């Protein structure tokens, strides 16, 4: 087992250095205007994905259960999903700036995971409530939805930056957002292939939330089924349950505003960032501030 733990540590270090290198490469592309750095950054993110995959496999092998039972393991799963979705988008669309927003998020997550206390990192025998096949179903769905929302946050931040830069350029008489053409690749299905970078990030924010929203709903539903099997009730207004519902409602509001009110650009990006704050409260905040059935993941 000690050998497997050592191998897991190697994979975690690979993940850490891979996403750190990706941060350097992506920002080299922006600051030094080196086109090769984007490919290098994407490859480094791929290395990080290999590290996350290897660490999860090693944990599964020596722990004997899906690596989703504590905060460290869920962070590994979140990073894995985030990198996988990012690499798919990079492969399909090759967008500028997206890696520069995504890599720091992945790096912050693995950095946070690395400094967790041992009781939240080490593998332990599962408590009775976690000894269920619903563990891998419910937690996997929640983690994938969070990954989509994290990426939507990154895209929304870029969207806001480009919006205010274009606004400043317009006020200075130097032209508008049409000068920032998207380089390379096509977008999903019906999305315009020749669009400004600003319009692209507005659209990708929407698409990522559209991905995460139903997965979050399924995560909440499967969590209720699991809760009934473990505790005899589908819903107990546990803080994490409550905030999951609040987060779902926030993103429901975003999609409503987007589809019926045609909210785009600045307003849409701000709404997406509000949703991300709700995700953070759901995923981490209630572990600090509240006690409930999910406190086995408490940071305190």
Domain boundaries along the sequence of the chain: 1-125, 129-300
Q: Are 215 and 144 in contact (CB under 8 A)?
A: yes
- Cα–Cα distance, 250 to 281 (Å, whole number): 13
CB atoms within 10 A of CB 168: 10
pTM, rounded to two decimals: 0.86
- Cα–Cα distance, 86 to 45 (Å, whole number): 9
Give the pLDDT band of residue 299 (cuts 50, 70, 90).
low
Task: Report the pLDDT value the prediction gives residue 189, as an integer from 0 to 100.
Answer: 42
Most confident of 84-98, 128-142, 227-241: 84-98
Which of 39-43, 97-101, 261-265 is predicted least confidently? 261-265
Q: What sign has the CA pseudo-torsion 271, 279, 201, 144?
A: negative
CA within 13 Å, CB half, 24: 8
pLDDT digits (tens, 9 = 90+) for 153-190: 999 998 888 877 767 766 665 444 443 334 444 444 44
pLDDT digits (tens, 9 = 90+) for 222-257: 988 988 887 778 878 788 888 899 999 999 999 999
Task: Report the pLDDT value the prediction gives residue 35, as an integer from 0 to 100.
Answer: 85
């Amino acid at each position: 087992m000690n050998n497997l733990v050592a191998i897991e540590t190697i994979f975690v270090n690979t993940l850490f250095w891979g996403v750190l290198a990706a941060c350097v490469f992506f920002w080299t592309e922006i600051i030094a205007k080196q086109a090769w750095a984007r490919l290098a950054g994407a490859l480094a993110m791929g290395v990080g994905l290999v590290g996350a995959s290897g660490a999860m496999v090693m944990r599964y092998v020596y722990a004997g259960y899906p690596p989703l039972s504590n905060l460290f393991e869920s962070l590994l799963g979140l990073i894995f999903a985030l990198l996988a979705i990012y690499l798919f988008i990079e492969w399909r669309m090759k967008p500028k700036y997206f890696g520069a927003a995504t890599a720091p998020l992945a790096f912050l997550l693995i950095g946070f995971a690395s400094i967790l206390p041992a009781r939240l990192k080490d593998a332990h025998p599962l408590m009775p409530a976690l000894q269920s096949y619903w563990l891998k179903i419910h937690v996997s769905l929640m983690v994938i939805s969070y990954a989509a929302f994290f990426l939507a946050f990154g895209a929304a931040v870029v969207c806001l930056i480009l919006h205010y830069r274009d606004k400043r350029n317009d006020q200075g008489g130097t032209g508008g957002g049409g000068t920032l053409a998207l380089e390379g690749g096509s977008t999903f299905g019906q999305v315009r292939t020749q669009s400004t970078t600003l319009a692209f990030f507005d659209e990708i924010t929407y698409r990522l939330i559209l991905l995460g929203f139903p997965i979050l709903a399924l995560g909440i539903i499967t969590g209720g089924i699991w809760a009934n099997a473990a505790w005899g009730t589908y819903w107990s207004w546990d803080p994490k349950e409550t905030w999951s519902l609040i987060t779902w409602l926030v993103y429901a509001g975003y999609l409503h505003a987007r589809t019926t009110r045609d909210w785009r650009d600045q307003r849409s990006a701000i709404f997406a960032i509000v949703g991300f704050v709700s995700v953070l409260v759901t995923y981490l905040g209630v572990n600090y501030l509240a006690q409930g059935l999910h406190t086995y993941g408490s940071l305190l």
